[in-house]
Structure 1
């Protein structure tokens, strides 16, 4: 018998149809622990549900995930509603979750605690960020429902306590899907207008679902960023919303919010009158004190004989006048002396006087030079005659005038008999001329 083999794809499609056709798997209610949860921003979420003995893959599409009012965390026990199907690409079966909430704790409360912790870590609830209320507000903005009891209580209280303040209602939804967005928009609108002294944000009591609009991050951040001081009056005294925590002041009831926003006009007027009376009494006492001082001073000797006030100044002025004149005289004398000294110095440095002195010096130097030159010439002339006489004494001509002569041969002086030969022509140089002769005989004295 021939067997029909199925492809993996065919078998997977068959099993997928079995899963989807099973009415028990179309809507399954499960409880389990979140595992392998890695949040992905603005996307589908993939994780697991497990208990002590089994684990199941889970998928939560973006649309369903964005409706959650809490943030799933690793290890959190949850209750989920979804359908079981098979993912053909991997052959794994998994649950596609349509709804999820914490097991044992309400989803809204879980979301409240998570957002509260996150904003607290960010510092939005710190006292250092809170603004003081204006003591005497002129305009008060109220963000609440126009039909609720809140606005009536606030109007009644303000009218009773401080009727000169102007109340401006910014109507808004206080619960529902669009309420938080509208509340935040009204808060920002009030800040954009900018001429309000105080803002009251509130509504009546209710469940956590009813008050949820005041627990959203959008509203909390709008209150935190408000430049106008905010009084929060949401729910009753036992209800605490995140808006209460971030607001500058929290009031237990709308009436309490109005009482915090405005003083009692009658009491303020009484205080003004009391301060007015205190000011009047203080001014009156000051006037009495000043008048008494005036009367006392007007009877003093100085006022009766005012010339005595400046007698001492007259004496002081005379002394200063004498000192001034003496100082001027001394200064003038000192300046005259300095002028005389400077004039003498200037005369010494006068160019005409210097030229005259230099001319005299030049005449003196010329005379000295002439005398020196004459003396030098006389000395040189004397030395010349002495040298000439000495030279004359050493002159061969002087010796030749006494009968001496010298012999030359071819213009060379004959110093020895060996310098000539027989028949050589030699010249006898005498004092008044030359004698040409021929050597006829040579005799040696035997010394050579």
Structure 2
């Protein structure tokens, strides 16, 4: 019975081959199809398991291995747990956010490759790039990709490429291996340096089933070095063919345009305009006449409006003139004098009529009228006598008649 952490596990259709490790050692294991069919969980890299088996020798490689007959989970290994914790941390900080992913340059001129100079990665990239896009310049930046010094080497190379600033794309990666072998690409310093890069980065670490933090932070992830080279470069032959097709379409479009213009030119040359050049200006002449007519009409209407406005102002000014007001005042005075004279004449006539009526009334009650009928009134010492009591025998009185007066003496008095 052995307890260890699963490493370098890839699910195969038949027998399973992977490794078990702890902090001190690592051993290869084999589990055949019949035995693996009885396993009731999905093994994963970093998972801690308890296995039962026997030790054998694989003669083809001269390597001892354990042939497993039973396997059950015990938990997650320390490396895998650290990977998950760091992944959660970087994800919360936004380092995996697609919004920060930079687009790749479609036609790169220089590509920097950060990997081991002795691995198969650089050979696959060179082969693929030469086949697809031989005009691009590949520059290898050798780096340590495994072991304790790998993280510092990768960070240094990334800083160097960005400091130079004359590259369009960076490819960083290595071949397959166990979780321990790929661990430098899970280091926090490497992930943060990839995120800080000003140049687009393609990450190709391990096999297609392997996923590192560098893959998640990079702008583009490639399953293999060949796929990374294909993502970084177009196919030159296809681009040339596309350019040639565009050139042919452009030439055809130019020919079609020239042909259409030539037809228009021929129609114009055969038209009446070119046989009689004055026809060119007929529309302009008509337009000038139309504008002239409009101008005259507008000018005439404007002049009439101005004249009417001036006449109106003149009339208003004349109405406000002192002479006009004087004439109008004189006319008003003459009218008032006529009305006054007529009113005075009417008033005199009414007064005369009233006077005549009053005279008639006064004359009707005048004592003279009575006296003309033979009456007279008596005065004594200038006072009218009203009663016989005022008289005495022998008194001198005056008799006032209608046509004069007479003196008399009272000789007798009788009372009624």
Normalised to the residue count of structure 2, the TM-score between the two structures is 0.54
| 1:175 corresponds to | 146
Q: CA RMSD in A?
A: 3.7
Question: Which deviations, in whole Å up to 9, do the C-alpha atoms of 1:176-220 show, x marking residues without a partner?
Answer: 223213312332443344332211011122221111100112212
Report the alpha carbon displacement of residue 333 of structure 1 after superposing the two structures with TM: 4.0
Tell me how far apart the structure 2 counterparts of residues 106 and 244 of structure 1 sit (CA, whole Å): 21
**Which residue in the other structure is 1:255 paired with?**
226
- Does 2:161 align with 1:151? no
Distance in 1 between residues matched to 2:207 and 2:86, nearest whole Å: 21
Determine the structure 2 residue equivalent to 1:187. Answer: 158
Deviation at 1:144, TM superposition (A): 1.7
Q: Distance in 2 between matches of 1:163 and 1:319?
A: 71
Q: Distance in 2 between matches of 1:124 and 1:323?
A: 73
**1:389-400 matches, cutoff 5 A:** none
Number of residue pairs aligned between Structure 1 and Structure 2: 264
Structure 2 matches for 1:327-406, cutoff 5 A? 327-343=298-314, 345-346=316-317
- In 1, distance between residues paired with 2:158 and 2:185? 12
- Whether 1:283 aligns to 2:265 is no
Change (3 A) 1:351 1:145: farther
Residues in 1 aligned to 2:316 and 2:268: alpha-carbon distance in whole angstroms: 66
Structure 1: stretches of 5+ with no match in the other structure? 1-30, 32-76, 79-101, 359-448
Question: Match of 1:233, SS?
Answer: strand
Partner SS, residue 105 of structure 2: coil
- 1:124 counterpart (82, 95, 99): 95
Which of 172, 182, 189 is matched with 1:201 structurally? 172
Give the secondary-structure state (helix, strand or coil) at the position aligned to 1:176.
coil
SS at match of 2:80: helix
Partners of 1:218 and 1:351 in 2: CA distance: 105
Q: Matched residues in 1 for 2:186 and 2:95: separation?
A: 13
Flag the 1:319–1:258 CA change in 2: closer, same or farther, 3 A.
Answer: closer
Q: Deviations over 1:315-354 (max 9, x none)?
A: 4533442443344244334324433543565577679999
Residue 212 of structure 1 corresponds to 183
Unpaired stretches in structure 2, ≥5 consecutive residues: 4-47, 50-72, 330-416
Q: Are the structure 2 counterparts of residues 319 and 103 from structure 1 closer, same or farther at C-alpha, using a change threshold of 3 Å?
A: closer
After superposition, where does 1:286-305 map in structure 2 within 5 Å? 286-305=257-276
Of residues 269, 279, 285, the one that matches 1:314 is 285
Pick aligned residue for 2:85 from 99, 105, 114: 114
Q: Structure 1-normalised TM-score?
A: 0.50
Counterpart residue number, 1:269: 240
- 1:101-157 superposed Cα distances (whole Å, 9 cap, x missing partner): x96543222222332333344443344443332111112122223343333332333
Distance 1:218 1:154 in 2: 25
Greater Cα shift, 172-181 or 114-123? 114-123
1:246 to 214, 217, 241: 217
**Cα pair distance change 1:161/1:330, threshold 3 Å:** closer
Matched, 1:236 2:214: no
Change (3 A) 1:193 1:333: same
CA apart distance, 1:283: 1.7
Instruction: Report the Cα distance in structure 2 between the residues aligned to 1:198 and 1:131, rounded to whole angstroms.
Output: 10
Q: Quick one: structure 1 residues 177 and 354, their matched pair in 2 at CA, closer, same or farther if it must change by over 3 Å?
A: farther
Whole-angstrom CA distance in 1 between matches of 2:209 and 2:138: 27
Alpha-carbon distance change, 116 to 323 in structure 1, aligned in 2, over 3 angstroms: closer
